[in-house]
Structure 1
């Protein structure tokens, strides 16, 4: 019997129906959602599941196991999104939306990129969208650096160049930087010709990233590396002419490299020839003060970065003696790592120059980069008071920070501030302002990134309907300014669906925009469609409309993945929890169960997907949230027989056994796991202990904590908290702590230390 067939829901009488300790608990059992330590048990379990997924993904990234990432990342993203929105409170913890660090995401992205497969590159786009939408960490240049590192491992320069060209249209709207190009150019000699490298440099102008002297230094070094014989000066002179034509200044390090390259090979005449040509090309091109500026600018930047502003300013008199003159380039080099008004005033006084819009924008960006949102907003207001007109760099970085450092759903205060900043910029740069197509020119008005973030933020507003007029105004502005809306299509569709009066209107809104959606866009629309079921009450999502959207997705040529079913199942589970919490909706439970079983059947009959453990985990979890322990156990049983279970599966079935008080089955599960030599992780142990506690087997739970958890996995403060939360008899808590002191002395000492710190 196949795994798929085995998981087809049994109907009627079945010989495989498990025997449980309490048959009456197969369908209905109570499940409280009590609060512990300020968090609901449900939230704690979600966080534990997230950590389990993170552990799996970390190992998968280290081992370059792309398929494992593709299986488990969607589950992680969903759990994180549910944790972030599970509480109607606007004060939900930022930890919810920041469930995964930037480093962890970058490791995943680099691994996917290194596979080089088109399907994995498309998954990268989805993760980039999730970074803002779910994790509160918008993509940055560093994010793309990780992706580019992975792409370079495929040793296909054209794939990386195409990535550069498409970066502005990807979520986040990041443009390629010099660092990105230099990363590619430095690696290119291993797999590309010098001609290809010249082409890459030429392509930089198309993406708006202008090459600098360092770019050409890498190019010249590659020329020497790839040439079987030292290249004669006439081969190098066209490159120098190209540098001059593009406005690059004299650079002593390039001159020294070329001269030394010839000298070390005994080619003195060629060394003199290239020096003479370099002087002729650049000496007439720049003034002595520009020469000094070119030499001193990196020195100022490095000194300020390593030793602070005072050390940088101490070098300024020496710079003047070398023939340098005050300039905004020097101003920026000194200011680059500052975000205080005092620093800018010191530089302004030393150079005798008044700061402009650019310098204010630099300080605001630095404050936002360090996480000082309040400082950034204060600097912005001071800039306005000083007569500085808002610009896209000033406003964009603050809007990004507002959404990054606040949790969803976004409060009216957050949304109103973001719209206020946008209005400032909108009025400062009228719609009829000319938009330059020259990549060297930065347009000061609202850009694609600002509109994308605003639309996405509004789609996650706590009170979305309040902003329907603002949304319409934004869309009109986008149209008037002629902005590219491709990257905004999903946000616009989701927003329109959220603002719809019901499913019928929402479906019409989807149909108007379905031709603009990509795979990630379809998934976001399906999620938004399901979320309508809890707006203004509780309803069961229309399965026919949901799968009509899925049908459109197939016809549009996009892959229907297990994630499509996972989205729907998770919403069913959430609705099941909601109906148990609110007696007004308890009558929906039979229909929810029927709908979930129908989804189960559709999954088993869908030959186009290959169900992975995370999908069946969600099926099992949804059943147990609907009090259908028998169904949940049958899913587990087939997963175990087919050896397609994981640590998350084990935690879910432990949890289900605990609420169903299925003592006999719990012991049977543990026996089978031991025979398979399956090693429980910390979350499994904690769930097992909580399960024993729910069965009123507190002594057994304490025994597990004290005697069984003595190997590689040791109990933690969370393990102790679980046990103590069930110690509701006088003197029981003290007895538990005495046992821990006796059998887990190190844990006991750490608990006592934490207790002392809190006093």
Structure 2
């Protein structure tokens, strides 16, 4: 199959066949020894004629007819290669060539299931260390092309948005984004295209003239579908938006707007839009500025795809002669860099002294790659180089230090963020606020910096310690003319004040006083905080009356109510349920009953709420809450509702199987799995492991061993077991008389997997 894939790639075909189960994953080669004669080696070649375990696994990977088997064989290959690297006496060439890896990634991307996309991330992580191949932006281009073929725009966009923080930390290219946008131009609504373009800036790929052309093409497509001619004011507003995004005069875009009106018989509108365009971009029409824009994009692309040296040579040989200044060229060349060595190299070759903008570029890229330690090192390097901090330099660093994604707040990060803020304030005293667009940067703290600092304070572990800091930040915002009435600032301030409240009434009063600035996202932050409030040392069991007072107030204010208002509450109850059941002897006997009653009343409210249509995620949260509270019958009723409605997913299956295992309900577990297997529902590895654990908890260890050794990876649409599967079996067999037998069966049926098991399970 992969031979034909290679030929199709060379022919630049846009539509490739889906992966078929009767084809091979990687084409076999004439012989094991001939296949690995490349000069690109990890250490030294294996002796001619020898066939290692890794070679045998590669052969299985090449000949398997099922994509699901790729996961097991690839993991086994990686484990074996790592074992060989630990053994200094074994050294070899890479068993998979770069072409093999490309083909492997192709197949996984075409399949495109969550498990397959995660395996692509694994392949990227192993590429250099195990196979001697450096991940490149071209690998991402191939993945994006395959994901586009699957037709799910949201999966493609999610891949692009996550590129800077995963798989080599690459910033998406304009080619990749435009390929994505053009593919779905006639499929997705205009709002999707518009939001996708607006989100590009988050990845570090700034929209350019071609991007904006796609945006306006999408708007005209939407007009055709609606059978309406947009008024000039519609496009005038879009033109204002793209200018804020950095657009400059582009005659091609002007022609697009003019011609579309004129060709539809609206010459007056055509002249009006020409006048509006020239009025907005009248100061951007110089040919020199357009030429510099082209050099900016070209140098960044060359640096990303061919390296810094090639980009520097291009500048010195061509761009410099065209009048493009060295400082701007350095910014373009460093567009995707994150290391001080890169900066020093560019400084030396272009004979410049890096300024704040160059350091800010590197720090922003490190923050985008989710590497706060690296970003901090760069910031310290900038200070040592005598750089005066400004908002552009410190904002990405403060943002990543104050993020609230970790389960346990890190106050050390908050201290660092506040120290960096103090550095900025010291060199930028308060002045009258300037109105800035998205292409300009404040010297002193701006709204983005304050919002992130307040969010960090709101999520800190010791709110009493940082309460004064929050009030001081608010005063600083007012003195600098920074608005305090946006939803981000208001929600953080409400959280700070709520956490200092002495009772629910006081907390609600805080909400009422500041609610006017909140939108749906801000209200979700407030609801999440309100759930967790604990008074007088009691467990934070929220009052439904008080909680839904906030929800009903959202309705009165015209805010959209979604299932999120229920999932926030149910997630919190589920966590409390787990804590209470673990500490049953130390907790109030009425606490568990109160949580159960709260969950059942919430269930009733979900059923009666005509404004929402519960999805799988909401049902999962409800079922999980019942399961964690020990309400097995209730969990089963939720599952039955989900199954009948068809609103369940793989997470749902794991939850109900866990519930069956803990409740000792073999008939129910058997019925559920029987139906799912009959429906050909595809289990992921978590589902299989949940099924193994369920069988073990029900005392059916022999059945669990049979599933792992005989069924998984062998019956159609199944996945081979992993190390976690074996751990589950050994954990439950350890305290039984079957321990030796279970170990023997696993060693006999799954010898390669057994070798990867930690020794404490042997």
TM-score bucket (shorter structure): 0.5 to 0.7
Q: Which residue of 2 aligns with 1:442?
A: 441
Deviations for 1:589-613, whole angstroms, at most 9, x for unmatched residues? 2222233333333334444444444
Give the deviation of 1:546 after TM superposition.
Answer: 1.1
Q: Which moved more, 1:714-723 or 1:467-476?
A: 714-723
Distance across 2 between alignment mates of 1:646 and 1:155: 24
Q: Which moved more, 1:623-632 or 1:329-338?
A: 329-338
Q: Which residue of 1 aligns with 2:355?
A: 356
Shift in CA distance, 328/615, structure 1 to aligned 2, threshold 3 Å: closer
Helix, strand or coil at the partner of 2:287:
coil
Shift in CA distance, 753/298, structure 1 to aligned 2, threshold 3 Å: same
Helix, strand or coil at the partner of 1:212:
coil
Q: Which residue of 2 aligns with 1:691?
A: 694
Tell whether the 8 Å contact from 2:531 to 2:540 is kept in structure 1 after alignment. Answer: no
Helix, strand or coil at the partner of 2:573:
helix
Shift in CA distance, 171/595, structure 1 to aligned 2, threshold 3 Å: farther
Tell whether the 8 Å contact from 1:194 to 1:226 is kept in structure 2 after alignment. Answer: no
Tell whether the 8 Å contact from 1:565 to 1:615 is kept in structure 2 after alignment. Answer: yes
User: Are positions 1:209 and 2:245 aligned together?
Assistant: yes
Distance across 1 between alignment mates of 2:322 and 2:695: 79
Shift in CA distance, 173/707, structure 1 to aligned 2, threshold 3 Å: closer
Q: 2:215 aligns with which of 177, 184, 199?
A: 184
Q: 1:618 aligns with which of 592, 617, 621?
A: 621
Q: 1:713 aligns with which of 709, 718, 723?
A: 718
- What is the TM-score of this pair, normalised by structure 2? 0.65
Tell whether the 8 Å contact from 2:391 to 2:441 is kept in structure 1 after alignment. Answer: no
Distance across 1 between alignment mates of 2:173 and 2:498: 32
Shift in CA distance, 518/336, structure 1 to aligned 2, threshold 3 Å: closer
Give the deviation of 1:362 after TM superposition.
Answer: 2.3
Q: Which moved more, 1:576-585 or 1:237-246?
A: 237-246
Q: Which moved more, 1:198-207 or 1:354-363?
A: 198-207
Distance across 2 between alignment mates of 1:496 and 1:162: 33
**Gap regions ≥5 residues in structure 2:** 1-107, 115-142, 164-168, 224-228
Give the deviation of 1:721 after TM superposition.
Answer: 1.8
Tell whether the 8 Å contact from 1:205 to 1:439 is kept in structure 2 after alignment. Answer: no
Q: Which residue of 2 aligns with 1:250?
A: 287
**Gap regions ≥5 residues in structure 1:** 1-57, 64-68, 70-101, 115-123, 132-136, 255-290
Give the deviation of 1:171 after TM superposition.
Answer: 11
Helix, strand or coil at the partner of 2:733:
coil
Distance across 2 between alignment mates of 1:141 and 1:220: 26
Deviations for 1:223-257, whole angstroms, at most 9, x for unmatched residues? 7899879x9xxx999999889951444359x9xxx
Tell whether the 8 Å contact from 1:250 to 1:294 is kept in structure 2 after alignment. Answer: no
Deviations for 1:687-734, whole angstroms, at most 9, x for unmatched residues? 222122112221222122233433121333222221111122478444
Q: Which residue of 2 aligns with 1:261?
A: none
Tell whether the 8 Å contact from 2:503 to 2:535 is kept in structure 1 after alignment. Answer: no
Helix, strand or coil at the partner of 1:584:
coil
Give the deviation of 1:669 after TM superposition.
Answer: 4.0
Give the deviation of 1:555 after TM superposition.
Answer: 1.4
Q: Which residue of 2 aligns with 1:385?
A: 384
Q: Which residue of 2 aligns with 1:486?
A: 486
Distance across 2 between alignment mates of 1:662 and 1:655: 10
Helix, strand or coil at the partner of 2:626:
helix
Tell whether the 8 Å contact from 1:368 to 1:398 is kept in structure 2 after alignment. Answer: yes
Q: Which residue of 2 aligns with 1:429?
A: 428
Q: Which moved more, 1:338-347 or 1:361-370?
A: 338-347
- What is the TM-score of this pair, normalised by structure 1? 0.65
Give the deviation of 1:529 after TM superposition.
Answer: 0.8
Map 1:321-340 onto structure 2 (within 5 A).
322=321, 324=323, 327-340=326-339
Distance across 2 between alignment mates of 1:324 and 1:338: 24
Shift in CA distance, 752/692, structure 1 to aligned 2, threshold 3 Å: same
Q: Which residue of 1 aligns with 2:4?
A: none
Give the deviation of 1:396 after TM superposition.
Answer: 0.6
User: Are positions 1:563 and 2:569 aligned together?
Assistant: no
Shift in CA distance, 738/500, structure 1 to aligned 2, threshold 3 Å: same
Deviations for 1:242-296, whole angstroms, at most 9, x for unmatched residues? 89951444359x9xxxxxxxxxxxxxxxxxxxxxxxxxxxxxxxxxxxx8x7786
Distance across 1 between alignment mates of 2:641 and 2:322: 80
Higher relative contact order (CA 8 A, sep 6+): 1
Q: Which residue of 1 aligns with 2:669?
A: 666
Deviations for 1:388-409, whole angstroms, at most 9, x for unmatched residues? 2111110011112334697343
Distance across 2 between alignment mates of 1:359 and 1:148: 30
Deviations for 1:624-645, whole angstroms, at most 9, x for unmatched residues? 3222223333444455566655
Map 1:748-759 onto structure 2 (within 5 A).
748-752=751-755
Give the deviation of 1:549 after TM superposition.
Answer: 1.5
Give the deviation of 1:576 after TM superposition.
Answer: 1.6
Give the deviation of 1:750 after TM superposition.
Answer: 3.7
Shift in CA distance, 240/533, structure 1 to aligned 2, threshold 3 Å: closer
Shift in CA distance, 190/348, structure 1 to aligned 2, threshold 3 Å: same
Tell whether the 8 Å contact from 2:392 to 2:441 is kept in structure 1 after alignment. Answer: no
Q: Number of aligned residue pairs: give it.
A: 593
Give the deviation of 1:413 after TM superposition.
Answer: 0.8
Shift in CA distance, 382/498, structure 1 to aligned 2, threshold 3 Å: same
User: Are positions 1:726 and 2:732 aligned together?
Assistant: yes
Distance across 2 between alignment mates of 1:607 and 1:406: 32
Shift in CA distance, 178/388, structure 1 to aligned 2, threshold 3 Å: farther
Tell whether the 8 Å contact from 1:573 to 1:626 is kept in structure 2 after alignment. Answer: yes
User: Are positions 1:739 and 2:745 aligned together?
Assistant: yes
Helix, strand or coil at the partner of 1:532:
coil
Shift in CA distance, 646/238, structure 1 to aligned 2, threshold 3 Å: closer
Distance across 1 between alignment mates of 2:281 and 2:621: 61
Map 1:515-526 onto structure 2 (within 5 A).
515-526=516-527
Tell whether the 8 Å contact from 1:113 to 1:150 is kept in structure 2 after alignment. Answer: no
Give the deviation of 1:427 after TM superposition.
Answer: 2.5
Distance across 1 between alignment mates of 2:294 and 2:673: 70
Shift in CA distance, 209/600, structure 1 to aligned 2, threshold 3 Å: closer
Q: 2:705 aligns with which of 702, 710, 713?
A: 702
Q: Which residue of 2 aligns with 1:455?
A: 454
Tell whether the 8 Å contact from 2:336 to 2:365 is kept in structure 1 after alignment. Answer: yes
Deviations for 1:22-73, whole angstroms, at most 9, x for unmatched residues? xxxxxxxxxxxxxxxxxxxxxxxxxxxxxxxxxxxx99x989xxxxx9xxxx
Helix, strand or coil at the partner of 1:462:
coil
Q: Which residue of 2 aligns with 1:502?
A: 503
Tell whether the 8 Å contact from 2:236 to 2:277 is kept in structure 1 after alignment. Answer: no
